[in-house]
Amino acid sequence: MRFDIVTVLPELLESPLNYSIMQRAKDKGLLEVFLHHLRDYAPGKHRQVDDYQFGGGAGMVMKPEPIAACIDKLCAERAYDEVIYTSPDGVLLDQSLCNRLSMKNNILILCGHYKGVDERIRQKYITLEISIGDYVLSGGELAAAVLVDSVGRLIPGVLNDETSALFDSFQDNLLAPPVYTRPAEWEGMPVPDVLRSGHEAMIEAWRHEQSMERTQERRPDLWQRYLKSE
């Protein structure tokens, strides 16, 4: 799977995708991430990528021409399954959207900045707008990193049995159960006996019970979805 990310701040994206599971996915040849610096597509000495907004108001808007030049070049080289714009106005990213995107081959992500991009870019190129939560980031880069990480780890072969996404929180609309490691007792707090019993069916039942309890307590919205999906 290939991601092309168009950004005014490639530096912000370099580090988060170079460690752990993302690096392993790239090493295995399952994930490719290419960063495209928008300023390289802006003409003139100043390589200006933003401008004042029509109608007045604080904050700059990303100019359409450099974005169009960059996206046109990329689209001439390959067909994209989705052209995504990261923005607080988008659909909220959740596990089912991650699952759906992990089945694609080529995804282009445009990172928003300043007050956002000129509306005409959204009309002409963007097939999907994604928000990572109801709060405002100073740019779309961190949202793009979240997107690549959450989708990239679902590509078949990226995770091994131990880290399998099948047992992640949200995969079945339930939160994950609590986990423990050694020592068996720490600061007077023992690990639940059942986890040390070696009885697989009982452990499975205990984990499911804990998942249901946690979801009911902490995420009543998710719990309603779980009940409907059962």
Give the number of other CB atoms < 10 A from CB of residue 31: 23
Residue 43 sits in the site that holds ligand ADE (CB under 6 A): no
For 69, how many CA atoms within 13 A lie in the half-sphere containing its CB?
12
Beta carbons within 8 Å of 132's beta carbon, 6+ residues apart? 86, 92, 93, 142, 143, 146, 147
Stretch that binds ligand ADE, among 117-125, 132-140, 174-182, 210-218 (CB under 6 A): 132-140
Strands (E), the chain: 2-7, 32-37, 50-52, 60-62, 82-92, 106-111, 128-131, 185-186, 189-190
Q: Which stretch binds ligand ADE (CB under 6 A): 45-53, 56-64, 125-133, 208-216?
A: 125-133
- Choice from 7, 86, 173, 211 touching ligand ADE (CB under 6 A): 86
Taking CB under 6 A as the rule, does residue 112 contact ligand ADE?
Answer: yes
Residue nearest to ligand ADE (CB): 143
Question: Where does this chain touch ligand ADE (CB under 6 A) — which range of 43-51, 67-75, 126-134, 204-212?
Answer: 126-134
Q: How far is CA 83 from CA 56, 110, 169, in A?
A: 29, 7, 27
Contact 139, 36 (CB under 8 A): no
Span from 16-24, 36-44, 83-91, 102-110 in contact with ligand ADE (CB under 6 A): 83-91
Does position 150 bind ligand ADE by CB under 6 A?
no
Nearest CB to ligand ADE, comparing residues 133 and 192: 133
Contacting range for ligand ADE; rule: CB under 6 A; set: 6-14, 41-49, 135-143, 162-170: 135-143
Instruction: Find out whether 165 and 159 touch, Cβ atoms under 8 Å.
Output: yes
Q: Which of 62, 137, 151, 174 binds ligand ADE (CB under 6 A)?
A: 137
d(CA 144, CA 140): 6
Between CA 91 and CA 174 the distance in angstroms is 21
d(CA 202, CA 91): 39
Under the binding rule (CB under 6 A), the answer on residue 87 touching ligand ADE is: yes
Binding track, positions 157-196, relative to ligand ADE; x by CB under 6 A: ----------------------------------------
Which stretches of the chain bind ligand ADE, using CB under 6 A? 86-88, 112, 131-133, 135-137, 140, 143
